[in-house]
């Protein structure tokens, strides 16, 4: 059995970022360090750096998320970045999308325990829920897949003129270059690399912003969305 490492005290930056929801952030960190490790959602070696590498690194994503929008966190896993974002931004309506049952069970427990009424947990893959979940303004993701594949899952979930915000590492620029052809087919009209978390995290968190035009996902996904919407209406009429 793997011995769980000890969770360090929350840094002062966490009080600044999470504000009135700092106690909930501490509880979430404790859950990750305990149940999260035991259920295989977080590696035990990550516990000593949960605050800096995970919670704070995800929370600063809030700097580039517009006010009052709908967000879908694709491949949410243990709730990163969705849960920290929800704690910082109660103005958002957030869906945590995750295909694995053991992870969605954990996410639902966290949401209920922390009283996150503006967060919904949905079990499924992005390509499976297309047309059954309401299109969102912003898709978020962290450590899910290379940008070309990630965009194929996340971009079709967006509303027209929405954006995908993906937390990435030092290879962000190279990923954009390598994914340019795929992004073009998905209706992407702009990409940029942002650095957030000044005074909170070091190094700064790197975010790839992918902006779409009036047809997120391109023609193929527009047709698929329309078919799914018609099927949904037919089911409701029965």
Classified as helix, coil or strand, 51 is helix
- As given in the structure block, the two tokens for residue 176 are 């954009």
d(CA 160, CA 217): 10
Q: Which helix (H) or strand (E) holds 70?
A: strand 70-74
pLDDT band at 143 (very low <50, low <70, confident <90, very high): confident
Share of the chain above pLDDT 70, in %: 90
Q: 225: which residues sit within 8 A by CB, 6+ positions away?
A: 130, 131, 135, 156, 217
Q: 66: which residues sit within 8 A by CB, 6+ positions away?
A: 137, 138
Region 201-225: mean pLDDT is 85
The angle, 0 to 180 degrees and rounded to 10, between the axes of the packed helices 22-31 and 101-114 is 150
Beta 136-142 vs 205-212: how paired, if at all?
A: unpaired
Q: What is the mean pLDDT of the chain?
A: 92
Does residue 236 have a pLDDT over 70?
no
What's the pLDDT score for residue 2? 45
- As given in the structure block, the two tokens for residue 197 are 């978390």
pLDDT in tens, 59-97: 999 999 999 999 999 999 999 999 999 999 999 999 999
What's the pLDDT score for residue 224? 65
> Is 128 buried (19+), middle (13-18) or exposed (0-12) by CB count in 10 A?
middle
Q: 72: which residues sit within 8 A by CB, 6+ positions away?
A: 94, 95, 97, 133, 136, 138, 139, 140, 154, 157
d(CA 13, CA 17): 6
d(CA 210, CA 222): 18
């Amino acid at each position: 059995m793997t011995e769980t490492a000890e969770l360090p005290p929350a840094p002062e930056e966490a009080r600044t970022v999470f504000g009135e929801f700092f106690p909930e952030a501490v509880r979430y960190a404790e859950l990750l360090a305990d149940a999260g490790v035991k259920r295989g959602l977080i590696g035990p070696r990550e516990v000593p750096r949960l605050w800096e590498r995970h919670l704070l690194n995800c929370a600063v994503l809030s700097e580039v998320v517009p006010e009052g929008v709908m967000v879908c966190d694709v491949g949410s896993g243990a709730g990163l970045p969705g849960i920290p974002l929800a704690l910082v931004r109660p103005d958002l309506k957030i869906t945590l999308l995750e295909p694995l049952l053991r992870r969605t069970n954990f996410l639902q427990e966290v949401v209920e325990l922390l009283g996150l009424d503006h967060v919904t947990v949905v079990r499924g893959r992005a390509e499976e829920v297309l047309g059954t979940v309401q299109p969102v303004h912003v898709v978020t993701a962290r450590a899910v897949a290379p940008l070309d594949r990630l965009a194929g899952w996340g971009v079709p979930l967006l509303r027209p003129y929405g954006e995908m915000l993906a937390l990435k590492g030092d290879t962000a620029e190279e990923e954009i270059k390598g994914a340019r052809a795929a992004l073009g087919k998905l209706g992407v009209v702009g990409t940029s690399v942002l650095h957030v978390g000044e005074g909170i995290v070091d190094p700064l968190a790197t975010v790839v912003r992918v902006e779409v035009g009036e047809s997120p996902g391109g023609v193929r996904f527009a047709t698929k969305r329309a078919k799914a919407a018609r099927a949904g209406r037919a089911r409701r009429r029965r």
